[in-house]
Amino acid sequence: MQNNTQDHLVDYLMACANGEAKGVERLYRATSARLYAQLLRIVRDESAAQDCLQQVYLRVWQTAGRYDAGQAKPMTWLSTITRNIGIDWLRKRHRHVEDGGEALDMLAHYDDMDAATDLAHSTQRLHECLEALSGDQRRALERAYFEGLTHGELASALAQPLGTIKSWIRRGLERLKVCMSSGI
């Protein structure tokens, strides 16, 4: 997004923080298509994505006062909220997460906005570390993270045995952890 658009989004968020309904309306017009597309990728259901999108803007209305433009870009902040709500919806829908689903479980509870803004600053490093993974590990982790697929769904989608998927995710997460902590 252009810097001018970023400035407008910050203004809309500040209007929301001040309780101005026009701020939410403008923010919705400027960002809803992008956030809806993100939700569709996560929940893969139009009705659920629409319901989740309403929850996103309700949460934005309630928490806009916590947004700090110095910590994260508006779309980063909004995307984090959107992702959390989408994954929460998936977790409610899939109450029984398969063994080894702790990585998705951990990601779904990432509600601390200060921690989320810290994550936004680490995005470049994360992309570098993801590129260092094998294609299979990267693909499995990205689909689990961005689409919210369970291990079983990944096994079907990638036409691989469940044990292979679990190994790819476990080893990929281990490599990511080492890479992210090394700062190399």
Q: Which of 96, 172, 94 is nearest to 164 (CA)?
A: 172
Determine the average pLDDT of the residues in 49-70: 92
pLDDT in tens, 11-41: 999 999 999 989 999 999 999 999 999 898 8
Tokens standing for residue 66: 């916590």
Residues of the chain with CATH 1.10.1740.10: 1-97
Name the nearest CA neighbour of 55 among 28, 74, 73, 75.
28
In the chain, CATH 1.10.10.10 covers 122-184
- Determine the average pLDDT of the residues in 86-103: 65
Cα–Cα distance measured from residue 142 to residue 150, given in angstroms and rounded to the nearest whole number: 12
Q: What is the pLDDT of residue 58?
A: 93
Q: What is the pLDDT of residues 99-151, one digit of tens each?
A: 445 445 555 555 554 555 554 555 667 777 888 888 888 888 888 876 677 88
CATH architecture entry for 1-97: Orthogonal Bundle (1.10)
Per-residue pLDDT, 98 = 46
Q: Name which CATH class applies to 122-184.
A: mainly alpha
